[in-house]
Structure 1
Amino acid sequence: MAPDQAAQSVGPETTCPMSPEQARYLGTVMRRSEGDEVRLFNARDGEWLARIAGLRRDRGTFILQTRLRTPEQEAGPVLAFALLKRDATDLVIRMGTELGVSRFIPLITERTVGQRVNGARLDSIATEAAEQCERLSVPVVAEPARFMDFLGAWNPENTLFTAVERLGEREFSEQPDKKPDEKQIGTFAGARPGDGILTGPEGGFSTAELDAALARPFVTPITLGNRVLRAETAVAAALALFDARIRNA
């Protein structure tokens, strides 16, 4: 959990107030009490060992003791994904947070099933996932964007790795520079922090959408193997491959 502290310097013996949710969780779920030690972390202050100085039903305080980790920047990608059914979208946010996504961009495509999202709910899922995996930062979940608007707004200095089903069967006669090298398929060659991953909806992108994406010079098509994956599985596979590439670069 992250200390709910205003933007100011912190150090040993700094007092941090709990949010009502934190107080209820610690007292009711975790059965913690005054004097117990917990770990607090956020992107600005890093991770601290802290002591519960007071705890009531919906309020309490922490006292910082020792810094365990200094702040660090996430090296993960931007994940642009076609909105899925609610449970699948929740899973994408949870897995993506644990696998290092820096920012989520939900997309509305031609085959998108659901186009309404509860932003507060997705933010809460991302926060819980960050706490679960002891990640210092919580990724931003952007408002849903339409596919073509997203392509138009993408920073061309960053590569957008686009997962394409049956990539080896696709015709690249009009775009020979986009034909993938078999040795590079799925390897995220040249990937850097800040690059993007684009995954499609149930049923995949339409032909028009793929043509529009592949026409952009910043788009690099990739395949995630010779199996047709569920949309949420494709997200997990792509993120794991990207993370492995960045860490081993």
Structure 2
Amino acid sequence: MSHYDFSAQRLFVDDALAPGVDIAPPPEALNYLLNVLRLRGGDAILLFNGRDGEFLAHVAETTRRSAKLRVDRQTRPQTAPADLDYCFAPLKQARLDYMAQKATEMGAGRLVPVITRRTQVRRVNSARLRANAIEAAEQCGVLVVPEAPEAMELDDFIAAFPADRLLVFCDEDAPIANPVEALKGRTGKGVSVLVGPEGGFDDAERAAIGRLSNVARISLGPRVLRADTASVAALAIVQATIGDWCGNHL
């Protein structure tokens, strides 16, 4: 990724990608292609769909209201999604948009809304969550777009949590102050990072989370972080300690 051309324009598409395939961009992408990027016949663009890798394509045909993109060749093979879930109490919309974008950039494979007793926003627009993840992937060279399942209650999340999966629980009362030390040597079949709402988890919720079989409680430092800031801090700690920043693939 260090030699990646970040000036290249990228577009996510749902279509299957292969050399010679023609792609008709969806209506929501046409304005971006024709009026923002001002692409014209012969201009190049990179396409990806989260399944087939990244491909170089060019504008084969354009009118005032339509465009056709022709796929030329693959530029990068598809990367496997990380088995890294970012689980969060839903936020108000602008901050939720930011969180979805940053979690995507940090390598999360799924964005999982979890409803707690102190959650202020109890409904999540999954389509908007995914749209923000796609936008972040387009801008930062990511080939995998995180899944965005429907919101679930914390009790259901705990009941369904696999015994062999590692839960990284962001807890202001974690017994080890240094989060790197708290994660050192911790493993599991995949990792889920859980961040609570403004005001934190209540005592009953914290006790229920603590009863799971493979929990690493980590502190995010001496300052109170907003939940959207906590997303970046927690995922950075995980990636730097047990994730792909240190050569591991979760």
Normalising by structure 1, report the TM-score.
0.87
What is the alpha-carbon distance in structure 1 between the residues aligned to residue 65 and residue 87 of structure 2? 37
Gaps of 5+ in 2: 1-10
Residue number among 12, 15, 30 corresponding to 1:2 in the alignment: 12
Is residue 33 of structure 2 the alignment partner of residue 23 of structure 1?
Answer: no
Question: C-alpha offsets along residues 208-239 of structure 1, whole Å, 9 cap, x if unaligned?
Answer: 10000001112221112222211111111011
CA distance change for structure 1 residues 183 and 98 in 2, over 3 Å: closer, same or farther? closer
Residue number among 190, 197, 208 corresponding to 2:193 in the alignment: 197
Map of 2:152 onto structure 1: 145
Instruction: Tell me the percent identity.
Output: 37
CA distance change for structure 1 residues 189 and 83 in 2, over 3 Å: closer, same or farther? farther
CA distance change for structure 1 residues 214 and 53 in 2, over 3 Å: closer, same or farther? same
CA distance change for structure 1 residues 57 and 193 in 2, over 3 Å: closer, same or farther? farther
CA contact (8 A) 2:178 2:219 kept: no
CA shift at 1:76, angstroms? 5.3
What is the alpha-carbon distance in structure 1 between the residues aligned to residue 115 and residue 21 of structure 2? 45
What is the alpha-carbon distance in structure 2 between the residues aligned to residue 183 and residue 20 of structure 1? 45
What is the alpha-carbon distance in structure 2 between the residues aligned to residue 216 and residue 195 of structure 1? 13
CA contact (8 A) 1:49 1:68 kept: yes
What is the alpha-carbon distance in structure 2 between the residues aligned to residue 189 and residue 85 of structure 1? 35
What is the alpha-carbon distance in structure 1 between the residues aligned to residue 227 and residue 92 of structure 2? 10
What is the alpha-carbon distance in structure 1 between the residues aligned to residue 108 and residue 188 of structure 2? 13
What is the alpha-carbon distance in structure 1 between the residues aligned to residue 232 and residue 39 of structure 2? 34
Gaps of 5+ in 1: 169-179
CA shift at 1:56, angstroms? 2.8
Count of aligned residue pairs for this structure pair:
235
Map of 1:235 onto structure 2: 231
RMSD over aligned CA atoms reads 2.0
Map of 1:177 onto structure 2: none
What is the alpha-carbon distance in structure 2 between the residues aligned to residue 116 and residue 181 of structure 1? 34
CA contact (8 A) 2:186 2:216 kept: no
What is the alpha-carbon distance in structure 2 between the residues aligned to residue 78 and residue 196 of structure 1? 5
Deviating beyond 4 angstroms after TM superposition, the runs of 4 or more aligned structure 1 residues are 180-184
Residue number among 95, 120, 127 corresponding to 2:134 in the alignment: 127
Larger radius of gyration: 1
CA shift at 1:149, angstroms? 0.7
